[in-house]
Structure 1
Amino acid sequence: MAEIIELAADGENASKIFESYIQSGNINFLIGSGASFPAIATAGNIEAEIDELLLANNENGASRRCLEFLEQIDTVHGKVSTAEADDPIYGVVANYRLFLSTIDRILFTRKNILLPRHATVFTTNYDMFLEHASSLVPGVILNDGFDRSSSLSHEFMFTPERFFDRTYRSGPIYGHQIEIPTINLIKLHGSLSWRRITDSIVFDPAAIPKLTDEEKADIAQVNAYLEKHFLILPNLRKFHTTLMERVYYDLLRLFSKAMDQENSVLIAFGFSFADEHILDLTRRALRNPTSQLVIVSYSHASAAAYQTKFSKQRNVIVLAPAAGATINFERLNELLVSILPGQANAA
């Protein structure tokens, strides 16, 4: 059964947990909608709501609910680079920025030179907070799977084999090679920046024009708007093209492969494991006795739900706050920073 460990006031026990796995393991993170809160409301029961409409044969209602869900995210996306300090969007960007820079520093300073200096961030979020945050941290290499070879086009082709690339820098005199930290970003449900062109996916962050109220009244235009995005929408009929189905399962295989590696750790934050595909894959991956799942629970109450979901797995730790407290993104960053050299008391 998953073990619940309550976060100590000074965070020392959490720091020791993270450090033991991060220093000697292959590092993976699973980020859910809770990480983008409060800028974007958590996904909640959105999938259940849409599934209920589909089961009642109300496909038009399901499409309109999907539209509302995307519009909320798209509205935030339009403000992500201009938000003022008192805007929740600004705070969320700051959290993601510190998160990426901390992972980069952890990879650069960890002592085990036999392990690759890369980490993988899996996320089901459609938003572009991670991509925007990486542009604010000079030196961080964020590999999102798109081929950015020299081109006159602003569209970049999705090339998932890029996730296996490693980056080295050689010295000018002796030719010695040093691996540069790389952070893979794998968006399991697609992204607002993804577009479909014939049988390919391209990175194109240009916003798709919003629908007017008159256009929203036309269900054909609503469906056309949804299909312009390359997104795995939250419902039981996730796919409307063969390409979408193939890409989705390719990305899930990358998730499974990452957990199958020896001494892999997956740190989950802001993710409820309500997605049955990912929950099932994670449970199966944990059959690997060298893998470890560390779930950072936002609240004391939700820790018990995680323990129930992983009641048959022993290599799962649920890091929970004390009753009445929370572990938000800012607190998670503090715990990660605390394992850096010279930061023993940072938590």
Structure 2
Amino acid sequence: MEVLELNDLNRTATLLERYIQSAHLNFLFGSGASMPAIQLAGTVEQEIDQHLAVGEHEEANKKALTFIEELEYQHGFLPAGYTDGDDTDLTLQNYLRFLGSLDRILFERKNILLPRQANVFTTNYDEFFEVAASLLPSLVLNDGFNRRIGNSGFEYAPELFFDRVYRSGTVYQHQSEIPSVNLIKVHGSISWKRQANEKIVLGAPETDQLTETQKNNPQEVKDALAKRAVILPNMRKFESTLLDRVYFDLLRLYSNAMEMENALLFVFGFSFADEHILDITRRALRNPTAKAVIFAHSQHRAADFEKKFSAHRNVLIIKPEEGQHIGFPELNSLFDVIGVTPEEIHD
């Protein structure tokens, strides 16, 4: 394991570029990425678990529903409706800037044997990635839903992940690959709906929220949660066999991606508190050609990562200087200059 302090942006970017040019690209984003629009989910999970530990299942459900409803309310401000410079706008611009840099990096890949494709795994329920991608017409986002004409609703079809997109010339029929991103939401999404036939379809986030009086009715709370196809942030995790199966199918996609030759994983805003993902990551790092680059928000968080990955030589932890933090703007500043010449930076 190696620890690097982020005190020279261009030197760090040059180092990461060497990894990127020869690797299959993967990203793992956690709730820290959606700050400041959405507060961290860590304390919510702890509070829900505390209720469950003493058998207060109704209170746990109420807490979980309130958390999901807050995300759905936040979605109402995307992509329009926010005020320039407010928390929602700042967060959306962070995602937009990141996807713009990723689009450029994929388009300019020098190794023609590697796909112009990246996998983005996230435990976030929010729609920032989807909305940001919709504002970048040059980038193809694959969210795993089948959009064939004639479907009654867009049904979840994870087998569509990893399909690559090509554009053919009109005269000589030459083909060029279009940059694409697989968005794999391992905990579900506020736009996922669970149907009675045990299928998941894509829909608009719920806008009808329960009143405080309704939330005092345990059955109404349970019914409201049942409409959402999300893996709740607690130790109970699963409320149905369907979500159980989907969750482990998505974790298998993560495991398979990390076991590929020259797999590269960037981790941002994620604490590895999810034991399933932590265990899979540790196992995947037995692959000697794999590499994980973990961005630590603070030096304290870096120390936590060092403990969790102390046995792995193929892990690089990038931490801030003393008294500083690595947030989304700092991450974007780094990716902005990856693959960019000094002359272009100057311009």
TM-score by length of 1: 0.96
Change (3 A) 1:344 1:312: farther
| Other-structure match for 2:48 | 50
In the alignment, the residues of structure 2 paired with residue 56 and residue 330 of structure 1 have an alpha-carbon distance, to the nearest angstrom, of 41
- Maintained 8 Å contact 2:72/2:205: no
In the alignment, the residues of structure 1 paired with residue 212 and residue 323 of structure 2 have an alpha-carbon distance, to the nearest angstrom, of 43
Change (3 A) 1:158 1:91: same
- Maintained 8 Å contact 1:123/1:187: yes
Shift of 1:17: 2.6
| Other-structure match for 1:246 | 245
| Other-structure match for 2:22 | 24
Q: Deviations over 1:230-276 (max 9, x none)?
A: 00001121111111111000000000000000001100000000000
| Other-structure match for 2:159 | 161
Pick aligned residue for 1:39 from 37, 40, 49 = 37
In the alignment, the residues of structure 2 paired with residue 12 and residue 84 of structure 1 have an alpha-carbon distance, to the nearest angstrom, of 33
In the alignment, the residues of structure 2 paired with residue 130 and residue 344 of structure 1 have an alpha-carbon distance, to the nearest angstrom, of 31
The one-letter amino acid paired with 2:284 is A
| Other-structure match for 2:77 | 79
Change (3 A) 1:344 1:309: farther
Shift of 1:199: 1.9
Q: Deviations over 1:115-145 (max 9, x none)?
A: 0110010000000000011111112100000
Moved over 6 A (4+): none
| Other-structure match for 2:169 | 171
In the alignment, the residues of structure 2 paired with residue 317 and residue 152 of structure 1 have an alpha-carbon distance, to the nearest angstrom, of 44
Secondary structure of 2:42's counterpart equals: coil
Matches within 5 A, 1:78-157: 78-81=76-79, 82-151=81-150, 153=152, 155-157=153-155
| Other-structure match for 2:62 | 64
The one-letter amino acid paired with 2:201 is V
The one-letter amino acid paired with 2:160 is R
- Maintained 8 Å contact 1:294/1:319: yes
The one-letter amino acid paired with 2:257 is A
RMSD: 1.5
In the alignment, the residues of structure 2 paired with residue 179 and residue 136 of structure 1 have an alpha-carbon distance, to the nearest angstrom, of 20
Instruction: Provide the identity percentage.
Output: 49
Mark the runs of 5 or more structure 1 residues left unpaired by the alignment: none
In the alignment, the residues of structure 2 paired with residue 292 and residue 32 of structure 1 have an alpha-carbon distance, to the nearest angstrom, of 19
Change (3 A) 1:344 1:32: farther
Shift of 1:44: 2.1
- Maintained 8 Å contact 1:264/1:291: yes
Shift of 1:344: 7.0
1:12 and 2:30 correspond: no
Q: How many residues align?
A: 344
The one-letter amino acid paired with 2:107 is F
Shift of 1:104: 1.0
| Other-structure match for 2:311 | 312
The one-letter amino acid paired with 1:79 is F
192-201 or 67-76, which moves further after superposition? 67-76
| Other-structure match for 1:272 | 271
| Other-structure match for 1:194 | 192
- Maintained 8 Å contact 2:268/2:294: yes
Shift of 1:84: 1.1
- Maintained 8 Å contact 1:14/1:319: no
| Other-structure match for 1:323 | 322
The one-letter amino acid paired with 2:186 is L
In the alignment, the residues of structure 1 paired with residue 26 and residue 234 of structure 2 have an alpha-carbon distance, to the nearest angstrom, of 26
In the alignment, the residues of structure 2 paired with residue 320 and residue 13 of structure 1 have an alpha-carbon distance, to the nearest angstrom, of 14
74-83 or 310-319, which moves further after superposition? 74-83
In the alignment, the residues of structure 2 paired with residue 6 and residue 341 of structure 1 have an alpha-carbon distance, to the nearest angstrom, of 21
Change (3 A) 1:52 1:148: same
Shift of 1:102: 1.1
Shift of 1:346: 4.7
Q: Deviations over 1:129-170 (max 9, x none)?
A: 0001111111210000001112475x2011111102111111
Change (3 A) 1:152 1:343: farther
TM-score by length of 2: 0.96
Q: Deviations over 1:42-93 (max 9, x none)?
A: 1123222212211211101111111221122122111122111131100100
15-24 or 317-326, which moves further after superposition? 15-24
Shift of 1:212: 1.4
- Maintained 8 Å contact 1:7/1:13: no
- Maintained 8 Å contact 2:72/2:207: no
Shift of 1:341: 3.0
Q: Deviations over 1:79-114 (max 9, x none)?
A: 122111131100100110111111111011010000
The one-letter amino acid paired with 1:310 is F
In the alignment, the residues of structure 1 paired with residue 343 and residue 159 of structure 2 have an alpha-carbon distance, to the nearest angstrom, of 38
| Other-structure match for 1:183 | 181
In the alignment, the residues of structure 2 paired with residue 164 and residue 326 of structure 1 have an alpha-carbon distance, to the nearest angstrom, of 34
